[in-house]
């Protein structure tokens, strides 16, 4: 088996693509409208889907917002320098909801940011 993608529903697809690509540095891998189903899918990620997992952004036409619920936790991204990453995200208008620092009861450095729809993304400092 192979991990392919995680799907999240978004209220404004262009705004979400801008966040994931411009703020988090991903690339738009593909995008397709499904007029009969009244939805659009866009896949973003850090590399080709043949060897990398992606995030599937789903916009259901006519739906501007979703209740995020309490079952979904977060998407996690490894970063080379968590402090620089958070500074960059803030400078591009992104929201850092938990500043970088050691996790509670541990030493791994983490931070949390939120995408435009409020989904949480954990940043984890990669070990050298």
Tell me which residues of the chain have a pLDDT lower than 50: none
| Residue among 49, 56, 114, 122 flagged as catalytic | 122
Topology (CATH) of 75-125: 2,3-Dihydroxybiphenyl 1,2-Dioxygenase; domain 1 (3.10.180)
Q: Report the sign of the C-alpha dihedral through residues 94, 83, 85, 102, in that order.
A: negative
pLDDT of residue 106: 87
- What architecture (CATH level 2) is domain 5-60? Roll (3.10)
Q: How many CB atoms lie within 10 A of CB 35?
A: 8
DSSP conformation class of 119: -
Domain range summary for the chain, segments of one domain joined by +: 5-60, 75-125
Q: Is 109 a catalytic residue?
A: no
The rounded radius of gyration (Å) of the Cα atoms in the chain is 15
């Amino acid at each position: 088996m192979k991990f392919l993608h995680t799907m999240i529903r978004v209220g404004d697809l262009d705004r979400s693509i801008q966040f994931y690509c411009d703020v988090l540095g991903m690339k738009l891998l593909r995008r397709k409208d499904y007029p009969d189903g009244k939805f659009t899918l866009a896949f973003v990620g850090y590399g080709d889907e043949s060897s990398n997992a992606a995030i599937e952004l789903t916009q259901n036409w006519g739906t501007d917002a979703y209740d995020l619920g309490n079952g979904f936790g977060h998407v996690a991204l490894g970063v080379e320098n968590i402090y620089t990453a958070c500074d960059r995200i803030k400078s591009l208008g992104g929201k850092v909801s938990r500043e970088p620092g050691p996790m509670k009861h541990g030493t791994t450095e983490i931070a949390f940011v939120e995408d435009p729809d409020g989904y949480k993304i954990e940043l984890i400092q990669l070990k050298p």
